[in-house]
Structure 1
């Protein structure tokens, strides 16, 4: 089709079309190898009347290949190969087609992906429906939704690729609900990134979200080696996120922990594992060195880890039968992390 009969999709998730210059250079030498997906303008107008004023009366709207269209114009081409799809007629069909095209080609930035998911959710009603339409798992959608929880400073850090920030770290930070807790966790991650940059021999710490790092059912140091059930895995992942943030209502969790009778050695072992995985180090629990670290952030983080370990070991051993304690512990996790009780966890007694 002639380029002057093609227009960009006004609802395209990609706001900044990167790499157009390099793509234009290849078009000048090798031509356009991949056709664009287009639909008639009148079809798009009928589906999206709110965008009608942005479109010409005739021609086609590019649903997949907006960067190719921009590059073709830059290269001075007169025509562009297209695939004209007349079966896409509804808002849902058009949005899904554009999303699949962009996501399959990995052309979207993290927040553009998030915006695409939210647009689809507005049309489809649920995030599960979005996942199904895109051929993705609900977990894939959930991971990207976490970015919507990021504070403005962290959004900017991700968009500008600040040192120490990766998409994986951003998604983990997005699990943390409180602003101060989230910023504290990012500050800790920046310190670790600076240490790695200053000393390349420093090993990268394991990621908190890996299930393989979750202790056995009886807790580190316990005699029970049975595997964790899904409910315990979910709780312990939430605990690890909270310890990594180093913030959250310490007074409340300490009161809850004081009413969780567990073996002290087991609690110290489990707390030590969490502190090690979050790069703080289990030495923060050493009694002999506490006097020299009075009131430090490191000591507060150790106290948080120990209190959570006591609660978690008690919850694991009682399987939630101590309903008052289980309810208070779960409420703390839901308040300070993105923890949600699993379906395998028994409902608290009335």
Structure 2
């Protein structure tokens, strides 16, 4: 379609069209490869009468591809490839189409995603319905909603990409209800970043990096503070990988874990360390928050970590003497990870 017949979506979730200059340079050389999603202006007017005065009388509104439209204009192109979807006529349908396109292409910033979720929630009524319409989990929606709880200083730090402020940290801070708690936690992270800046090689030392993959066990080392042997270290690396990737047959592992005598606090401590390493956060194990909208993804990761911790602590403590459970647990690891039993463990675990 001719560029002069296309207009930007007045409800576009993207507040800033960044990188238009660089995109325009590529268009001058290769043209536009990805079409924009458009609907007639009249259709948009009927769905959003409150925005009618922002649109011309005729033409088409770009629902997905507003940055492409801006870059095409900057590059001096005469036309733009588009996909015209005549089925998009309702307010809700238009909102969902624009949201899914932007989210799938990862074109939205964190607070733009939050604004999109809130807009859809106003139409659909519940956050569960929003997750379903977007093809996302309840946990995905819940994580983004936490950003709405951030104090203004922390919002600004995230938007400015202040060193140390990551999207993962921002979501964890958003779980803290009190302003003082959020600011105190952010101060601790800033101090950690400062220390790392003073010693930039500290996190690059091979020994330190290897140690971070096998969390300190806090008493789960077989008793008496004895160091873990190579077999236990290998298993625990495999456990961490399984948690980080969300792989494995959780029901089978849960049955095994439920039948081993392990100190609950010790299992929670080990599982929490693994969850922290896997970027899920040990708070996923907090019983007090299980009833809120933490989301099934984090809860599944927590359940997997806790089951693995129980099995691993029991095997480390008994050295495989409980052969039935040892066989079941090590078979699970071999099935769902790259873990292979050490030669010294072959007799009790075969």
Q: Same fold (TM over 0.5)?
A: yes
| Cα distance change of structure 1 residues 106 and 266 upon mapping to structure 2, 3 Å threshold | closer
| Cα distance change of structure 1 residues 137 and 73 upon mapping to structure 2, 3 Å threshold | same
Within 2, Cα distance between the matches of 1:14 and 1:101?
12
Residues 255-302 of structure 1 deviation map (CA, whole Å, 9 limit, x = unaligned)? xxxxxxxxxx99899889989x99xxxxxxxxxxxxxxxxxxxxxxxx
Aligned match of 1:232: none
State whether residues 3 and 77 of structure 1, in contact with CA within 8 Å, keep that contact through their aligned partners in structure 2.
yes
Shift of 1:12: 0.3
Shift of 1:201: 3.5
Residues 73-128 of structure 1 deviation map (CA, whole Å, 9 limit, x = unaligned)? 10111111111111000111000000011011110000001101111111111111
2:102 is aligned with 1:102: yes
Q: TM-score, normalised by structure 1?
A: 0.62
Shift of 1:214: 12
Within 1, Cα distance between the matches of 2:132 and 2:32?
32
3-state secondary structure, aligned to 1:7: strand
| Cα distance change of structure 1 residues 267 and 95 upon mapping to structure 2, 3 Å threshold | closer
| Cα distance change of structure 1 residues 339 and 18 upon mapping to structure 2, 3 Å threshold | closer
Aligned match of 1:160: 160
3-state secondary structure, aligned to 1:62: strand
Shift of 1:15: 1.0
2:61 is aligned with 1:61: yes
- Aligned residue pairs: how many? 248
State whether residues 44 and 61 of structure 1, in contact with CA within 8 Å, keep that contact through their aligned partners in structure 2.
yes
Q: Cα RMSD (Å) of the superposition?
A: 4.0
Within 2, Cα distance between the matches of 1:267 and 1:90?
53
| Cα distance change of structure 1 residues 40 and 164 upon mapping to structure 2, 3 Å threshold | same
Aligned match of 2:197: 197
- Runs of 4+ deviating beyond 6 Å: 212-216, 219-223, 265-275, 337-340
Shift of 1:65: 0.4
Aligned match of 2:135: 135
3-state secondary structure, aligned to 1:165: coil
1:1-350 pair list within 5 angstroms: 1-203=1-203
| Cα distance change of structure 1 residues 38 and 220 upon mapping to structure 2, 3 Å threshold | same
3-state secondary structure, aligned to 1:136: coil
| Cα distance change of structure 1 residues 130 and 338 upon mapping to structure 2, 3 Å threshold | closer
Within 1, Cα distance between the matches of 2:185 and 2:89?
46
Residues 151-203 of structure 1 deviation map (CA, whole Å, 9 limit, x = unaligned)? 00000000000011111111111111100001000000111111111112434
Residues 9-33 of structure 1 deviation map (CA, whole Å, 9 limit, x = unaligned)? 0000001000100111111111111
Within 2, Cα distance between the matches of 1:129 and 1:266?
36
| Cα distance change of structure 1 residues 198 and 63 upon mapping to structure 2, 3 Å threshold | same
3-state secondary structure, aligned to 1:63: strand
| Cα distance change of structure 1 residues 272 and 83 upon mapping to structure 2, 3 Å threshold | closer
Aligned match of 2:312: none
3-state secondary structure, aligned to 1:175: coil
Aligned match of 2:226: none
Residues 120-144 of structure 1 deviation map (CA, whole Å, 9 limit, x = unaligned)? 1111111111111111111111111
Aligned match of 1:229: none
Within 2, Cα distance between the matches of 1:176 and 1:90?
38
